[in-house]
A and B are shown apart, each in its own frame.
Chain A
Amino acid sequence: MNSFLTIAMPKGRIFEEAADLLRKADFRLPPEFDDSRKLILEVEEENLRFILAKPMDVVTYVEHGVADVGIAGKDVMLEEERDVYELLDLKISTCYLAVAGLPNTKISDITPKIASKYPNVASSYFREQGEQVEIIKLNGSIELAPLIGLAERIVDIVSTGQTLKENGLVEYAKIADVTSRLIANPVSYRIKEKRISEIVDRLAKIVNQ
């Protein structure tokens, strides 16, 4: 049986590449997909429903099972540590998580401050390095923090390094490589197993070309 499936898509940066990939794998996406403001789109002939969520929230929708599968960045998976299956590396939206700061600076011995949109990733990275730091959570334009004296280091995703360069910042360490992943809810993965395996196979063919 061709059971109904809900896919959570990340809005913004990753969206276009993800939609491209789905089209290449012969999924008939609605034409209004790319510029619609609708948050839920149905493709009846494929028995699919797409929901459009903030990239950080895709894992949450999938963990709670309101979406069966989703496309989420590895950065989000590392930050959120949700109970979902990570099925396939889609190899799109390639970037990496890194530590950056002003050149030729050291972090303070007493209260080193780290600004990040990824407080969990930042905290566990510095713990592994044997350093106790204080994390300041920011929601965007993280590069501002060291420039204006809020923090000595930032932890953020870097794709081309252009933003860092333009703001006179340098990279101190790479934390992890990031690409988008196909994820699945643990119950859907078993109840809708055939459907999800088929999606994995179709996408894997394109990704591994």
Chain B
Amino acid sequence: MTKPFMFEKPLGMRDTLPLLYETKASVRNRMSVEIKRWGYQFIETPTLEYYETIGEASAILDQQLFKLLDQQGHALVLRPDMTTPIARVAASKLLKQQIPLRLAYSANVYRAQQREGGRPAEFEQIGIELIGNPSISADAEIISLLVDVLKATGLKDFKIAIGHIGFLQELFISILGNEERAAVLRKYLYEKNYVGYREHVKSLPLSSIDKQRLIDFVSLRGEENTLSQAATLLERETGRETLQDLKELAVQLKEFGIEEFITFDLTLVSHMSYYTGTLFEVYANQVGSPIGNGGRYDSLLEKFGWNTSATGFAIRMDRLTEALGEIKETETTVCVVFSPERRKEALIFAKEKREQGINVTIQEINALENVDAFTKAFHEVHLYIGNGGVRSE
């Protein structure tokens, strides 16, 4: 690359200018209030972590990690997610104090871009982790919390698709016989390649009934009776327990009164190996990628030496604010322009206003080349200029 121009930033890095900053701050505030109402506690972790711990334990692909070396030559990463650092803190400290743990975060994470722009390489995630509670009620709790958090932001049109990696896995194993063959089919689903999936199924040495079961499987989504349809695909006992769990989850979500936002989609495969039970993605109109996702990840904590179950979600602030559209400014700022001899008067006025909770910008007139151009951005302007009197506009 040639020497960057002064205005350039590394690929995928973005500035947040005042208007967007305010929007984000207000959305973030509403979300964290709701998260705290559910009894979750916010924590912070470092931006830099060791590559060998966080970097390798994280579900984010190696080629997406930003890597660097510290003074001693250790490989570091800019944290690619918050779930992994929280697993580290939980396993090494917090789980010794309380189980289950309910933790929350709002933090920037870093994922390098593989292709052209259009996507940020640094973005904020707000999320929660519920660690040490393997029950269905934990899954129901976080999904309900997710709905409440999104509602708190004012978002109305959204949908959460819930799947279960266990069901898919048990169905595949019971038909195909071994993990190796199941992994091939799972990869087609992960790559969203349904054409390849169907062709592969046709080429397998299976009975036509089993082939049909595998082909019918990819339509197990959306409809209200998805779960009962799923039951018809099962032959023996395998998979029934998982399905029973999902039915129980559906009942509990109904008890929370959020069924209108939920759709079951057993074909959902968000990651090749990370999730171990229920998993979900959140979609909003007008945004081309999921605005959030989550699920149960039972093997991550083990990597940090604590064998326990965990579940959680993360919402992407950039995509959420895109879904919310432009939010009208709620705060107004008053401008006070003064000439030096009336400084004291102007400052007293500004102080009074600030004490009333109003934002005030003070500006000495001598430093302004063009008064009109400067004051244009304010809703209210007070001029303390010349002899006595205040002109307000």
A interface with B by C-beta (< 8 Å) = 63-66, 83-89, 181, 185-188, 190-191, 193-194, 197
CB <8 Å contact, A89 and B289? no
* CB closest chain-A residue, reference B193: A86
Whether a CB of chain A sits under 8 angstroms from the CB of B343 is no
Q: B210-228 interface mask toward A, CB cutoff 8 Å, 1 = contact, 0 = none?
A: 0000000000011000000
State whether A86 and B289 are in contact (beta carbons under 8 Å apart), knowing that A187-B283, A190-B265 are contacts in the complex. no
CB-CB under 8 A from A197, the residues of chain B are 222
Once bound together, how far apart are the Cα atoms of A87 and B263, in whole Å? Answer: 20
For this complex, 20 residue pairs linking A to B, each with C-beta atoms less than 8 Å apart, are A63-B288, A64-B118, A65-B288, A83-B192, A84-B192, A85-B192, A85-B194, A86-B192, A86-B194, A86-B196, A87-B195, A88-B194, A185-B288, A186-B290, A190-B283, A191-B159, A191-B283, A191-B285, A193-B222, A193-B263
CB-CB under 8 A from B285, the residues of chain A are 191
Once bound together, how far apart are the Cα atoms of A191 and B118, in whole Å? Answer: 22
CB-CB under 8 A from B284, the residues of chain A are 187, 191
Whether a CB of chain A sits under 8 angstroms from the CB of B251 is no
Closest Cβ–Cβ distance, residue A156 to chain B (whole Å): 22
Once bound together, how far apart are the Cα atoms of A181 and B199, in whole Å? Answer: 13
Whether a CB of chain A sits under 8 angstroms from the CB of B287 is yes
Binding site of B, secondary structure by majority: helix, strand, loop or mixed? mixed
Ranked 10 nearest A-B pairs via Cβ: A65-B288, A85-B192, A187-B283, A89-B195, A193-B222, A86-B193, A86-B195, A64-B288, A191-B283, A190-B283
Inter-chain CB contacts under 8 Å: number: 53
State whether A181 and B195 are in contact (beta carbons under 8 Å apart), knowing that A64-B118, A190-B265, A193-B222 are contacts in the complex. yes
Whether a CB of chain A sits under 8 angstroms from the CB of B57 is no
CB-CB under 8 A from B118, the residues of chain A are 64
CB <8 Å contact, B222 and A190? yes
Once bound together, how far apart are the Cα atoms of A89 and B283, in whole Å? Answer: 26
Whether a CB of chain A sits under 8 angstroms from the CB of B161 is yes
CB <8 Å contact, A187 and B287? yes
Q: A187-B284, A191-B159 are in contact. List 19 more A-B contacts (CB 8 A).
A: A63-B288, A65-B287, A65-B289, A83-B192, A84-B192, A86-B195, A86-B196, A87-B194, A87-B195, A88-B194, A181-B195, A186-B289, A187-B289, A187-B290, A190-B161, A190-B221, A190-B263, A193-B222, A194-B222
CB-CB under 8 A from B161, the residues of chain A are 190
